[in-house]
Structure 1
Amino acid sequence: MTTETPREGGVLAGLARFCYRRRRLVLLAWIVGVLAVAVGGFGFGAASNNDFSGGGSGSAEAQTLIKRHFPEQQGDTLTLAIKADRGIDDPAARQRIEKVVSVLDASPVTGPVTSPYTDPSLVTKDRRIARTTIPLTSQDVKKSEVASLVTAVKDASGGAVTLGLAGEQAQKAEAPAQGPGEAVGILAAAIILFIAFGSLVAMGLPIVTALMAIVGGIALMKLVGYVFPAPDFTAIVSALIGLGVGIDYALFIVTRYKDALKDGDDPEAATVRAITTAGHAVLFAGTTVVIALLGLVAMGQRLMTGVGVAASVTVLVTMVAAVTLLPAFLGFTGHRINALRLPRRAARGEGAGPARRTPAERWATAVQRRPVIAAAL
């Protein structure tokens, strides 16, 4: 078994050696750094901005005109849908409808509401179905404020009258709390990695590295929001992209590390070899993703610029984690990278017979032998 560290030079080799040998310091720095950024970002970061006005697009110019000349209608709109079994002119139905229209009209977050009794175009010919539009006065109406309107409309329904509030903001107000969608993705990735590596330790390293990078990246995104404002969906976009690339980049390096150990390298040499080979691919791939995300700047819409910058920050953090934090983790695991293996793989052991080729190796050999056919397929 090789016991000497490789002689590779260069920045990545030196960085890998430092992170491996000073793994406790590197891990502590990452933990303290992520915690500090998380406190600053999640505690004092910029609030989301959903005002898509501005920029040079036609829709942005139209929104600017509405804000200038019709300020009470610059936000989104809601639609009040009305169904009266005995017609909207029934006295009991009319009382309910006029009451809810007056409540909506008096709300501080809505503009003038037109009653269906004053505009015949809002009522069907049989006068059983009607509607009216409720303009919101701002793009940033709070969910709780819209929820109170939805509740008022529901409370007004009854008897032979059915009332409902439609629109994007109403749907958001009624939507249940978001489930752990990212957690499902992480669980799926964990299962796939466990099957691929056959080891809980090897499976855990890419996921832990990616999660630490995502937390730090999203927290930084909140702080960057003071310079580049972004809408509320930016955190979800950044988390999904960060999770994907973070696991992917760490997977490259862990796979190369395991291969180096099989070739007889000691853990430090295997770490340096993994970073100086797969690390280059990680940096190149990450830079390409960052450039692609920053292409959103070309849209000329300031909030989309914020989305691109925020997602780019998350990818940059995952790149740094892959070439600094992961080598430190590898220093702690050493030869135990294959610990807690799948029973079938542990039982297979290291018998005297030749190693069986994996399906991936057989597939790669077949593609190399018939490259034209593979390309055509």
Structure 2
Amino acid sequence: MPGVSNWAVRRPIIALISYFVVVIAIVGLGVGFGGSLNDSFDLPDTESTTAQELLGTIGNEGISAESSGATAKIVWSPANGTAIDAQSEEIIYPLLTDIAALSSVGCITNPFDVTAPIGTSCLSAVAGGDDSGAQLTPEQQKELAPAFAAAAAANSPISLDGSVATATITFVGGSGDVPSDQAVSILDQVKEANTDTMAIGANGQILEYAGQEPPSSEAIGILVAIIILLFAFGSIIAAGMPIIVAIIGLASGQMLVLVVALFLDVPSFTPILAAMIGLGVGIDYALFVLNRYRQSVLIGDPPKQAAMGAVNTAGRAVLFAGTTVIVALLGLFVLRIGFFNGLALASAVTVLMVMLSALWLLPATLSLLGTKALGLRLPWGTKPGEGKPEGQR
């Protein structure tokens, strides 16, 4: 790696072209052949997995694949009358019909007529009936009758006083298979159906975060880093360089995460975790090299000599630090859990790419820009040649 950094300093233009050719190739691999992220979590050959599979087999007997998908609920309460009277049905039934028309919706229970769910995917489950008491003797059935009645009341889609009712939406697949735009559409339709005399709501894990973008912690981190670097370097260009180098390395690393997903199970939250790790170490590694370069330039060293000295000192520290992080992440393979294997390798390749960015892209850029890398000085910035060797005051 020091050889690559030295070559980047000596031949900056060729090094930059080569680096971006590699980045473009990685982006092409990620976009063209990248796998999909998933949240499958398996612990093979363990007692807990065996028990879970057995429970799943027992629990799904007689139930169609459609009826075992992810669910959500529509809840309504009228200001007057009951939740299942004719006035309520006039408002709610068209809403349920429109929602059932979405491709991701398998069926919707119908509290107005429990034998006629909306959609055909639930018919097999309804037709199957409830045979919970089929194997009981008459004496046992009589003894358990109060419990069955209580269970039926608890599972009823209508409250005891009739003021509130619910309809259960069963989706065709799991929560990860429901398009976000359809989840948003359900919420929009529910909102539009609300009136002064009818309060309607929807809940469920699928709908909880529909249409909401997660807060960008990376953007906040970058903003804080820029402020700190501006005070530390006293130069706008120097402050922005570690950020740009880290982001470019991070972008290529994110594409490699998709490539890793071709071969291993990579959790859906991996890109976020890899971005947090990659951005942090990427700025740190670029800062090591740039700070060493800056110190040499400020005491009057020629830019190329300063860049060469930076990669041969701080660059070696970056190589050691990055390798240590990669080895630590790959240590998760010892657990022999597929979930962690994909997470570890995806994070490791992201760290590798930001390390390459600091040891390949940054040295070439410093060599090409020379003292301009410290340009756009702020009032507290030091001019090249006016600094003092480290340790002197």
What TM-score, normalized to structure 1?
A: 0.77
Kindly indicate whether the alpha-carbon contact (under 8 Å) linking 2:237 and 2:376 is maintained by their aligned counterparts in 1: yes
Structure 1 residue 115, shift from structure 2 partner: 3.8
Matching residue of 2:117: none
> For residues 51 and 225 of structure 2, what CA distance do their matches in structure 1 show?
44
1:299–1:141 distance in 2 versus 1, CA, 3 Å: farther
Aligned positions, number: 343
Matched, 1:170 2:207: yes
Matching residue of 2:72: 78
What TM-score, normalized to structure 2?
A: 0.74
Matching residue of 1:370: none
Match for 2:361: what amino acid? L
Q: Give unmatched runs, 5+ long, in structure 1.
A: 1-10, 358-377
1:61–1:193 distance in 2 versus 1, CA, 3 Å: farther
> For residues 278 and 32 of structure 1, what CA distance do their matches in structure 2 show?
26
> For residues 334 and 99 of structure 2, what CA distance do their matches in structure 1 show?
40
Kindly indicate whether the alpha-carbon contact (under 8 Å) linking 1:53 and 1:64 is maintained by their aligned counterparts in 2: no
SS of 2:380's equivalent? helix
Match for 1:170: what amino acid? L
SS of 1:344's equivalent? coil
Kindly indicate whether the alpha-carbon contact (under 8 Å) linking 1:72 and 1:110 is maintained by their aligned counterparts in 2: no
Structure 1 residue 211, shift from structure 2 partner: 1.6
Match for 2:184: what amino acid? A
> For residues 350 and 166 of structure 1, what CA distance do their matches in structure 2 show?
65
Equivalence map 1:1-377=2 (5 Å): 12=2, 14-50=3-39, 52-56=40-44, 58=48, 62=52, 66=56, 69=61, 70=63, 71-86=65-80, 87-102=82-97, 104=99, 108-116=103-111, 118=114, 120-121=153-154, 122-139=157-174, 140-175=177-212, 177=213, 182-262=218-298, 265-297=301-333, 302-345=338-381, 350=386
1:73–1:59 distance in 2 versus 1, CA, 3 Å: farther
Structure 1 residue 179, shift from structure 2 partner: 7.0
Structure 1 residue 210, shift from structure 2 partner: 0.8
Matching residue of 2:138: none
Range with bigger deviation, 69-78 or 280-289:
69-78
Bigger-Rg structure (1/2): 2
Kindly indicate whether the alpha-carbon contact (under 8 Å) linking 2:100 and 2:107 is maintained by their aligned counterparts in 1: yes
Structure 1 residue 213, shift from structure 2 partner: 0.6
Match for 2:376: what amino acid? L
Structure 1 residue 149, shift from structure 2 partner: 3.1
Range with bigger deviation, 197-206 or 41-50:
41-50
Q: Give unmatched runs, 5+ long, in structure 2.
A: 115-151
Matching residue of 2:128: none
Matching residue of 1:5: none
1:35–1:325 distance in 2 versus 1, CA, 3 Å: same
Alignment identity in percent? Answer: 35
SS of 2:83's equivalent? coil
1:65–1:135 distance in 2 versus 1, CA, 3 Å: farther
Kindly indicate whether the alpha-carbon contact (under 8 Å) linking 1:54 and 1:64 is maintained by their aligned counterparts in 2: no
> For residues 19 and 381 of structure 2, what CA distance do their matches in structure 1 show?
34
Structure 1 residue 277, shift from structure 2 partner: 2.5
Range with bigger deviation, 250-259 or 159-168:
159-168
1:351–1:329 distance in 2 versus 1, CA, 3 Å: closer
SS of 1:206's equivalent? helix
Matching residue of 1:362: none
**1:2-42, CA deviations, whole angstroms, 9 ceiling, x for partnerless residues?**
xxxxxxxxx62x33321100111111111222123223323
